[in-house]
Amino acid sequence: MPREAITWRAVRSSGPGGQNVNKVASKVELRVRLEAVEGLDAAARARLGSLAAPRVDSRGRLLITSQRTRDQARNLEDARDKVRRMVARALVAPRRRRATRPSAGAVEQRLREKRLRGARKRERRSAGHDEA
């Protein structure tokens, strides 16, 4: 991924943290131009687009944030790692589902058990009405 495809800025982190939150900009916002990501075929690019869709801003850039640690450099590395993992997921093509059918024996066994359950319930019904 070319360096010019990535921009980042540090902002103040949210949540608890006392004085540190008010002074230090340790949260990282990383923006990646998706069209500049290299090494993706059309299918992988489409998968990346659908994976990233909820996080894409109005200018078509993927927005990743990290505020795991109180250290800006570690948050930047964490955000870059999130992008790497997303691209790696897009590179893996989902396996096609192969249509399967239950065997004739399995179908016959299911129907036999179903008949037995029905017969058991019918016996209970007739036994209950005789006593009342």
pLDDT value for 117: 96
Handedness of CA 50, 33, 45, 39 (dihedral sign): negative
User: What ranges do the domains of the chain cover?
Assistant: 3-91, 104-132
pLDDT along the chain (132 residues), means of 10: 80 75 83 88 92 90 91 93 94 92 96 96 78 54
Q: Which CATH architecture has domain 3-91?
A: 2-Layer Sandwich (3.30)
Residues shown for the chain: 132
pTM (predicted TM-score): 0.68
pLDDT value for 15: 72
pLDDT value for 6: 85
